[in-house]
Structure 1
């Protein structure tokens, strides 16, 4: 599948003659415009693969970045590949390029082709593309900060823009939240059929639920900066579930269902099993926390070591020390490294923990404790586990710190999302660094990715303006707009 869609991704639309000659000499095997049914699966797979793992060494956005920084995993070798906060140029160059070129360009093409007046008018394709375009933009702005947004994706417009300006994050968030509301209106249950939907198999109601759940995520993320606006958005969605449906169970989770076909296997499987990479173990931070809580998710997130125990080691250890743990620290759980393991975007469990935080902050009505318990229960059930009264009693009464800790636990595998929430809130509180660890970046856990080097040569004037929005330096220490710390 991926090989076929790679052809689609690089194929250029060609011009043709007009009149009868053109009609007689059209090759059906070389279409002049790709329909949304081909653009959709290519865009989804490319972006989800990037967010979940990434197979290429020095570009593994999640695996060698956020999963290490959030102390889900740790390295037993090559600690300079993310675990010690060091980054390769390819890490921030190629992920920027891929998210824009492989994801956003194709979703924008879908919108243009399926909107009124487009060659393949279909309001459901248009709505789906808007949801995926928004999610991809949210990845980019949460990774880098201010980004080209309003002038992005206009390289082939009637009046092309080759040097797009950067928008401040608050403007990007305003645009994303507005687009998700519009997408919900575009998506019509019982409306035109769609093909090529490898996320929800054409179930438009589930796309509507994803659009509105994602809108709640983004509204909650900006709530400390735009309280009135965010509360209005949350009230609108939660006050009219018929018009604005949200996730109602794990069956609604947004996740890419990987397949047995090699090209569409789960990315962690491809790296750790197919490519035989054994560079990672589970972090001591995760093992210790789940052990303290007697949390059965540990048996899913990790494999027991040769002695039948769950053991992790500290992050940031130099190779000479880290390699000694290769045979004694636990590996990532087998659930996550199957060919068909799902690559998750957002879950019902996360949604409820978002609502628990919002209730605690006074942004919505309802019981924070109820949302909190529903979030934990959904996370357990996501892995076939059963919530117990004993666990609920161990965790105790809801607080913001507990909500964020449970969100961190529930987001295992979704390192980018956990990293964003940590940078926003400073929670959960991570343990003191191991005295043997050696970190780059002055020991500062990265707060953003640097802009790619290509921007300095291709869009330097606008890049310079963007840097003034984050303090003037293109480094990994600047705090982003939604940071509450």
Structure 2
């Protein structure tokens, strides 16, 4: 009996010891390394950047492609030969373009950049001012994208759903307020970003090159300041002068090697989204408007933007034709450069920065020679396409005016349909030709001035949406002009 007692006691003590040991290391043993409870900024940053770029440049989800299906057709870079009434070329778009743009930018892009900031701020687990600066630059780009296509948007309260005092129905801020916030954030981001600061991981845009992030931040600030210049002249001039007067503190994009773009790899999920769309479908052609302008200028960029026909010539397709009428044309397709799966998605170029300077100099907002800036911009555009600007090209475009600057900018922005659409709506240039007699347009025949708010806002945030529409200054349709229209 005594032996049995001692044996039982020994087993009990051994069991208790084992239980104590397991309890002591319980959290460590039961932590799944494949499902971390804390996510580092390096894991959040890549997808947030990818979503933002894809939604701006183009992605592969049908009926959600604002740039490819709508803006590039509206601005007459591209035209459609089928599905014309259903996917943008006739000024009619599915509601999913609105909801897809809105939902993905807010839920997949902006919220993740906000998490990067909260994880990397002072005293936080992954404290790193460069992460914060990068997130602020990309948020600024994303908010600018949203407000430029919708108008007033949730901004100051947009990302406070998980705050201590949660706001699940955010108010709408006016475009003027959004622009002011963006410009302040870009200035702060420039101060935070430091080439001598800690390294960042997960930067799929510039591979950790902080100087390129600073250049992008300040170039983007020039874009925003110039866009609002007709409404806030004094402030815009001050911002542009501040940046351009101190290139050491405020570097901008100064060469094609510093372009803000996302490089792609030939693997599913990473590939250039225009390749995903245009290489599998043949229902887009180059617009007659663009082809005719390039031919009139004897502009070699036509060889990059478009594929020649069998006889070596180039021909466009008028916008807005019915499917039957479009089927009678033999028109050029988009150039092979854009069918390369590794071709970059472009956010901002050296050429654009020089075009901004040219317009600002012409308007008296900055000092400098508008003609010299324009020539520099065109040279940069040619070089971006692997070409050399002809020595007599400036004489082909004639006098340097707002129209000639903006028309050349429109040519250079091929691929960036949303940006070209922004500039057309703001300035009215280039002057578009009269519609083809066989064209049939919706939206009262008016080239869209914006896109409508998603239907989800009417059901989930109606009171604030109504105030946003009031700030818009017109009805929630595709004919109400935006705040920065000249």
TM-score interval w.r.t. the shorter chain? over 0.9
Which of 306-315 and 357-366 deviates more?
A: 306-315
Aligned-pair CA distance for 1:26: 2.0
Consecutive unaligned residues in structure 1, runs of 5 or more: 1-17
Is 1:44 the counterpart of 2:41 in the alignment?
no
Instruction: Quote the Cα distance in structure 1 between the aligned partners of 2:373 and 2:322.
Output: 42
Aligned-pair CA distance for 1:471: 3.1
Aligned-pair CA distance for 1:56: 1.3
Give structure 1 regions of 4+ aligned residues with deviation exceeding 3 angstroms.
18-21
Instruction: Quote the Cα distance in structure 2 between the aligned partners of 1:73 and 1:248.
Output: 29
Is 1:389 the counterpart of 2:398 in the alignment?
no
Instruction: Quote the Cα distance in structure 2 between the aligned partners of 1:469 and 1:171.
Output: 11
Q: Given the two structures, how large is their TM-score scaled by the length of structure 2?
A: 0.94
Aligned-pair CA distance for 1:339: 0.5
- 2:478 match: 476
2:36 paired residue among 20, 31, 35: 31
Say if 1:220 and 1:472 are closer, same or farther in 2 by CA, change over 3 A: closer
Equivalenced residue count is 463
Instruction: Quote the Cα distance in structure 2 between the aligned partners of 1:389 and 1:271.
Output: 36
Cα displacement string for residues 314-356 of structure 1 (whole angstroms, at most 9, x for unaligned residues): 000011111222xx10000000111101110000000000000
SS at structure 1 position matched to 2:103: helix
Instruction: Quote the Cα distance in structure 2 between the aligned partners of 1:70 and 1:33.
Output: 44
Contact conserved, 1:54 with 1:61, CA < 8 A, in 2? no
Aligned-pair CA distance for 1:210: 0.4
2:414 paired residue among 409, 412, 432: 412
Aligned-pair CA distance for 1:416: 0.3
Q: Given the two structures, how large is their TM-score scaled by the length of structure 1?
A: 0.94
Aligned-pair CA distance for 1:19: 8.9
RMSD: 1.2
2:288 paired residue among 278, 284, 291: 284
Is 1:315 the counterpart of 2:319 in the alignment?
yes
Instruction: Quote the Cα distance in structure 2 between the aligned partners of 1:388 and 1:291.
Output: 14
- 1:461 match: 463
5 Å-filtered alignment, 1:293-372, equals 293-325=297-329, 328-372=330-374
5 Å-filtered alignment, 1:123-202, equals 123-202=129-208
Aligned-pair CA distance for 1:20: 5.8
SS at structure 1 position matched to 2:347: strand
Say if 1:122 and 1:322 are closer, same or farther in 2 by CA, change over 3 A: same
- 2:429 match: 427
SS at structure 2 position matched to 1:251: helix
Contact conserved, 2:174 with 2:472, CA < 8 A, in 1? no
Instruction: Quote the Cα distance in structure 2 between the aligned partners of 1:199 and 1:472.
Output: 38
Instruction: Quote the Cα distance in structure 2 between the aligned partners of 1:392 and 1:235.
Output: 27
Is 1:259 the counterpart of 2:265 in the alignment?
yes
Is 1:94 the counterpart of 2:100 in the alignment?
yes
Aligned-pair CA distance for 1:24: 4.0
- 1:10 match: none
Instruction: Quote the Cα distance in structure 2 between the aligned partners of 1:457 and 1:119.
Output: 38
Aligned-pair CA distance for 1:472: 4.3
